[in-house]
Copies of this chain bind each other. A is one copy, B any other.
Amino acid sequence: MAVYTHLGAEDMAALIAEFDVGTLVSAKGIAEGVSNSNWLIETTGQDGRGARFILTMYEFRIDIGELPYFLSLLDHLAAQGCPVPRTIHSRDGRLYLERPNAAGELKALALIEYLPGVSVSEPTAAQARAVGQSLAQMHEAAASFRGVRANGMGVAEWRRLADACGVDGLAEISPELARIVAENLPRLEHDWPAGLPASVIHADLFPDNVLMLGSTVTGLIDFYFACNDTTAYDVAVTHAAWCFDASGTSFRPDLSQALLEGYRDRRPLSAAELAALPRLAQGAAMRFAMSRAYDWLNTPADALVTKKDPMAFARRLEFYRDHPEVFGPEVFAA
């Protein structure tokens, strides 16, 4: 949540001149993204009527070699009618540019379309339904995308993160967390669903990564965890991210039913996928519990980020384990 690199007006204007988007009118650093610097850019536009963009400098975590996957995925999905921001290509056809940051390190910069909409904090059922529909639309549209990227946050990574935290580290966060990991991680590793339909998945579709106007999805954003993996796992991740109340642990059956119905409006879930969802959802909860636990123990006190509580997801894991009926056929009988 910061802008790590200062780009002066003169540098910014020169950078924007590499794209056919008119001249620079305004550039405001925006407080989004923990591994990127982002600016909301206004230009005169190709037609002089004004246009807006998000400029992203990839500061940490993202391997430049993976940028073509993320940025061409946006183009592919936008071309198929999904509400995702297009990548603006430079005049000479590049998806991203490279410039030195303040420390003289070469960093990639991409210009992407600005989309209207706000991220809801307390979704309604109508909003959860719309998100389910958009997720299914994205899965369908991505079927013809040719890029391939492994899921860097899959089962093997949960184990690696748990080991890096150590039992003592987990217990330091909460004795409950250490117990929940010990009880559930071996079982999930052993029984992780295989052989289900796969596709490009977003893998991080929290409310923060969805822009909405009323009950309409205007933008799916932040595809930097996107990868090729089990399609229904993306449903599970989205379910874990949307279907609990603001306190993070109280299940909201209305949101759950709306999200799943919305999804199935656009893409049917097979019997095998439905049967796997309780385990996939436990895995989704484990994934966020483990990445948050690792960040909790490894974020310096002076970092510019807010620590997120791993226990919110550890408790969701137990909820999913104890309530497989959330994904049962009876939910959809009504």
Contact = CB atoms under 8 A, between A and B. Distances in A.
B301 A8 contact: no
Contact of A31 (B9, B26, B29, B212): B29
Number of copies: 2
Contacts of A3: 1, 31
A161 interface: no
Interface string A108-123: 0000000011111110
B122 A8 contact: yes
Contacts of A301: 302
Interface of A: 1-3, 8-13, 24-32, 40, 42, 116-122, 211-213, 301-304
Nearest to A24: B118
Contacts of A12: 118
A31, A42, A301, A303, most chain B CB atoms within 10 A? A31
B118 A27 contact: yes
Nearest to A8: B121
Given A1-B3, A40-B40, A304-B304, A121 B32 contact: no
A28 B32 contact: yes
A121 to B, nearest CB: 3
